[in-house]
Every structure is written in C-alpha cells, then in structure tokens.
C-alpha cells in the first residue's frame, strides 16, 4: 500500500469520528448553525428588513421570514449581482453559480467565502467515509475523472460567475492534481459532444480508478469509450476502476445498463450537491440514504409535500421529521439564502443519524387526476419492472395524456431502451402493477376506471440526447425530469 493510501486511511478515521460527533447531536448542531447564521447576517439589508436583531428563537424566525423561491428572492440577488455589499450576507459573495434551473429559468446562486469550503469538504468527506468503512484506499493512486462544466469564469463587479462544477474545478486539492483528468484545456471545451470525445482520447489509455458525474452523461462517456475501443467493456479498459461517484439523479434506473457497459459491478457513492449548498452524501455502503449535513452552515426546515401549497404550511425541524414522509426541503445558508425553497423533495430513511433520499421535485409530479405521483415512485416502479429481466434502459420520462384520441386517459412512459423487453405488453403490465403499489391514489384511479393502464412509447436511440441538444441542455449538470404534469417534453419526443 502506498504512502498516499495509508495517509488517506488515517485521515478517513479522523473525519469519521468528527462526523459522528455532530451527527449524534442533530438538534444541538442545528441550533448552533441557526444562531450563527442570524448573528452573522443581522447587519445585512435582508437582516434589517426582517428584524434579525429581534430573532431569539426558531419560532421568531418563522414568523418574520416567509418561505421564498428564487423569484421571491430575486430583488435582493439582483442588488448583489450589481456589486452591492451586505445585502443577503456580509460583504460580497466570491462567486455566482449560474444554473439553468428546472422551475425558474436561469438562476444565479451566491457562493461566499463561508459557504464554499463546505462544498469542497463534503466531496472529500464522502470519499473518506467510503475508505473508512471499506478499508479500500488503493484507488487514490490511480487516475480520477470528474465530468463537469467548464471552469472558465467571468468576473463582474468583483464577483466571478460560472457553473458550480466549473467553480469547483478551481478547488481540487494539490495532492489530487496529478491524478485528475481531464486536462484543463479539455475541461474548458464548451460543446459537450466535442468535450466527451476529447475526454475519451485523454483517458482511454489511462489507469482510471475513480469516475464521477451525473449518470446520464457518464453513460454517454462509457458508450464513446466502447466505440473507440472496438467494443471493449469499460471494466476491461480500466482494470482498476473501483468507484463511481454520482449525484443529481437516481442511479437505480441506470444500474443495469452501467453494469453491462462496465462488465462488472463497482462500488458507488451518491452525493446531493447543488448550487444552494452541499446537502448530503452517502456515508455507508450498508444502509440506504445519504447523511444530511447538519453542521455545514445550513439550517434546514421541512414541509410535508401534501401540505406545501396550503396557506400556512407547518415548518418542521430535524427533531420533528418522520421516516418515509415526503418533505419539501427549505434551507437558510451562509451564502445568504433565507427560508429558501430549493425545489427538491426528500424522504428520511433514518433518524440516528439523519439520512435522506431525494424523492423528486415539488414542481415535478403528475397530478392531472389527483394522483400526485412523484419521481421516486416512477423510478421505483421502473426498477421493479426491470428486475429479473434482461431489459436495460438509457433514459425515460413520464407524462399524462389527458385527451387521448380514444378511450380513457393514461400515463404515458417514454422509454429509450438499450435492450427491449421480449414481451412489451407484459413489461407494461408489470410497470403498471408496480406503479399501483407505489401510489394508492393511482391505484384507485385504475380501479375506478378513471385511468387506463400505463402506455409505453418507445423513444429512438439517442432520442433523449437529441432532445437535450434541441433545448440547449446537452451535458454538464443538466438532466431529464423524470416526470411532468404537462406534455412539454412528451410533445417534442413524439416527433424526434
């Protein structure tokens, strides 16, 4: 074992016990974070507008600071973008992370000198927890690739603008620089397809041990590797490939395809990073869910998703949440976001320590008939329908068909198969049965003859890739919504 691997194991042990110290006292940890946030922002414009000097308790905060989304907070953000100081957080932010968003168009999320270190530490600590638990540190000696956006930044009014993943590229530790791929020049390529081809050229002969990125785009990278190598499995090209790190979407629908592309199983770590904060990472290979980062300058609140659109929904803290309930996650951060609705929904899988899964988006659901189907449910249904079969998929999304040419309305599943079912009717039946188990309201609609069973529509090979290209969202951190309450995506897929 190399000196670097031994050092990684020692450091991993230290971080593990530090993490357990705050994870074992979640309420106290969150109170400390809350008090620090209010104190540090008391003299900002937002703090003065909302009487932070009078806030003594979390209850006081909830009375004075309503839930906001990006559009609600935008007047403050625009002042910060124009270079004004002490608006949402003390001073100016170091960066603005530009994100296309899935609900609000282009968004500019501030990153401060207080918040940025937590983004970097969380990525590092996720890997260290894996090393501590498994004892496997040999991969640190190989090459590592992080599929990400361009690191080119633009500076305005003393603030640098760029994609979150591109900003993160500037913070890769020195001890990883020699191991890290792709090269800086390749990473700066804006066109995603050109970039992927360049990454393939740079990595195909390397000893890749760790690969990280959103599954849909890593899949594209793997497919290009196989084409370039004349059909070799990724695991044969990279014999020491041991660890896949991902975030942004559920890996399960991709797992069968990935294992086929790789030719074997590899360990994986799930992360929950966002421009608004690095919220969670998978801290164990043996239990479901990701550890919620309660000590990272973020104060969390949760609202039951079925109450979210009520006039005065109840805001809960970590002491009040329950396992298995779907919550909208609200954050206040040391980057100057206050009672901010990030748009994601989560479910707790464990409370000692607090672990979550991302269940979907509060604006990404199907409830055309009152069923309120969420992303997590369609992903679980797809996983169940594929079990015990040779079916592999590249991508899928679901939309309601409210006005069919004939017959009852239905949910339409647009699926790009890499390996189709032998019996499509049987597969559709299994998919529908799995959905009925996932959502009792959907089951009631089928039983009551309000809806007919799911309809599967095949999408041509590369159809989703072509769709993303057509809307200018190919590659990077962009991802296909698993479902929508409208047919915006479905109507395009029908003609591709």
Q: For residue range 129-173, what is the model confidence (pLDDT) as tens digits?
A: 999 999 999 999 999 998 888 889 999 999 999 988 888 888 877
The verdict on 100 and 145 lying in the same domain is yes
| DSSP state letter for 43 | T
**What residues make up the domain containing 427?**
365-493
| DSSP state letter for 180 | E
The verdict on 245 and 394 lying in the same domain is no
Residue 15 has pLDDT above 90, yes or no: yes
Asked if the structure places residue 321 within a domain, the reply is no
Cis peptide before 182 (omega within 30 of 0): yes
Asked if the structure places residue 178 within a domain, the reply is yes
CA distance 477 to 272: 12
Q: Which of 86-95, 98-107, 375-384, 439-448 has the lowest mean pLDDT?
A: 98-107
Asked if the structure places residue 310 within a domain, the reply is no
The verdict on 352 and 432 lying in the same domain is no
Q: What is the per-residue DSSP string for 423-467?
A: -HHHHHHHHHHHHHHH-HHHHHHHHTTSSPPPEEEEPPTTHHHHH
The verdict on 344 and 426 lying in the same domain is no
As for how many domains the chain has, the answer is 2
Nearest Cα residue to 396 out of 409, 376, 379, 380: 379
58's tokens: 């979390």
pLDDT at 103: 44
Asked if the structure places residue 417 within a domain, the reply is yes
Helix then strand then coil, % of the chain, to nearest 5: 40, 25, 35
Please give the model's pTM, rounded to 2 decimal places: 0.84
pLDDT band of residue 114 (cuts 50, 70, 90) is very high
| DSSP state letter for 229 | T
At 195 the three-state DSSP class reads helix
Asked if the structure places residue 307 within a domain, the reply is no
Tens-place pLDDT, residues 310-325: 889 999 999 999 999 9
CA distances from residue 261 to 94, 177, 181 in whole angstroms, order as listed: 40, 28, 21
Asked if the structure places residue 325 within a domain, the reply is no
The CATH code of the domain that includes 374 is 3.30.300
Residue 300 has pLDDT above 70, yes or no: yes
Backbone phi, then psi, for 336, in 5-degree steps?
A: 95, 20
The verdict on 158 and 60 lying in the same domain is yes
Asked if the structure places residue 351 within a domain, the reply is yes
The verdict on 349 and 387 lying in the same domain is no
Tens-place pLDDT, residues 444-489: 899 988 899 999 999 999 999 999 988 888 876 678 888 988 899 9
The verdict on 287 and 431 lying in the same domain is no
Domain end: 359, 375, 402, which one? 359
Q: Which of 69-78, 248-257, 263-272 has the lowest mean pLDDT?
A: 248-257
pLDDT band of residue 100 (cuts 50, 70, 90) is low
The verdict on 341 and 404 lying in the same domain is no
Greatest Cα pair distance, the chain, in angstroms, is 69
The verdict on 465 and 349 lying in the same domain is no
The verdict on 394 and 347 lying in the same domain is no
The verdict on 452 and 352 lying in the same domain is no
391's tokens: 């079916």
Cα–Cα–Cα angle for 464, 468, 469, nearest 5°?
115
CA distance 118 to 297: 8
- The set of residues, in sequence order, having a beta carbon less than 8 Å from that of 423 and lying 6+ positions away, is none
* Count of Cβ atoms closer than 10 Å to residue 301 Cβ: 26
The verdict on 26 and 84 lying in the same domain is yes
Residue 104 has pLDDT above 50, yes or no: no
pLDDT at 105: 58
407's tokens: 């017959």
Asked if the structure places residue 198 within a domain, the reply is yes
Q: In the block, which residue shows the tokens 């309201």?
A: 441
- The set of residues, in sequence order, having a beta carbon less than 8 Å from that of 369 and lying 6+ positions away, is 400, 409, 445, 450, 451
pLDDT at 238: 97
């Amino acid at each position: 074992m190399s000196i670097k691997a031994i050092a990684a194991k020692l450091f991993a042990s230290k971080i593990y016990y530090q993490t357990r110290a705050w994870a074992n006292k979640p309420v106290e940890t969150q109170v400390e974070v809350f008090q620090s946030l209010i104190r540090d922002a008391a003299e900002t414009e937002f703090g003065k507008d909302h009487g932070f000097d009078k806030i003594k308790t979390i209850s006081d905060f909830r009375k004075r600071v309503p839930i906001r989304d990006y559009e609600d907070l935008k007047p403050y953000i625009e002042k910060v973008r124009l270079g004004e100081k002490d608006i949402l957080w003390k001073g100016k932010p170091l960066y603005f992370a530009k994100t296309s968003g899935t609900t609000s168009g282009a968004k500019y999320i501030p990153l401060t000198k207080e918040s940025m270190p937590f983004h970097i530490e969380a990525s590092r600590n996720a890997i260290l927890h894996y090393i501590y638990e498994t004892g496997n540190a040999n991969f640190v000696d190989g090459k590592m690739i992080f599929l990400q956006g361009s690191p080119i930044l633009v500076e305005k009014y003393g603030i640098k603008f760029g994609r979150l993943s591109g900003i993160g590229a500037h913070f890769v530790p020195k001890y990883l620089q020699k191991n890290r791929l792709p090269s800086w020049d390749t990473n700066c390529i804006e066109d995603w397809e050109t970039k992927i081809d360049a990454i393939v050229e740079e990595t195909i002969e390397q000893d890749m041990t760790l690969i990280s990125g959103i599954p849909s785009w890593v899949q594209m990278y793997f497919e290009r590797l196989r084409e370039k190598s004349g059909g070799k499995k990724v695991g044969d090209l990279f014999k020491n490939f041991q660890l896949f790190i991902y975030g942004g979407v559920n890996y399960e629908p991709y797992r069968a395809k990935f294992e086929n592309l790789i030719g074997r199983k590899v360990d994986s770590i799930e992360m929950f990073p966002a421009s608004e904060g690095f919220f969670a990472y998978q801290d164990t290979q043996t239990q479901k869910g990701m550890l919620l980062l309660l000590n990272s300058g973020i104060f969390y609140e949760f609202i039951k998703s079925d109450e979210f659109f009520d006039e005065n929904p109840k805001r809960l803290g970590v002491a009040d949440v329950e396992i298995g309930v779907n919550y909208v996650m609200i954050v206040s951060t040391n980057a100057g976001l206050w009672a901010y609705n990030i748009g994601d929904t989560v479910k707790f899988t464990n409370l000692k320590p607090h672990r979550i899964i991302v269940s979907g988006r509060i604006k990404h659901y199907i409830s055309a008939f009152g069923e309120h189907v969420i992303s997590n449910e369609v992903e679980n249904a797809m996983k169940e329908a594929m079990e015990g079969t040779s079916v592999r998929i590249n991508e899928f999304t679901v939309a309601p068909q409210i006005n069919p040419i004939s017959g009852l309305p239905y949910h339409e599943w647009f699926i790009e198969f890499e390996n189709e079912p032998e019996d499509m009717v049987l597969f559709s039946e299994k998919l529908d049965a799995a959905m009925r188990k996932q959502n009792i309201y959907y089951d009631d609609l089928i039983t009551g003859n309000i809806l007919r069973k799911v309809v599967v529509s095949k999408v041509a090979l590369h159809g989703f890739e072509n769709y993303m290209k057509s809307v200018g969202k190919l590659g990077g951190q962009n991802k296909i919504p698993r479902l929508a309450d409208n047919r915006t995506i479905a109507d395009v897929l029908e003609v591709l």
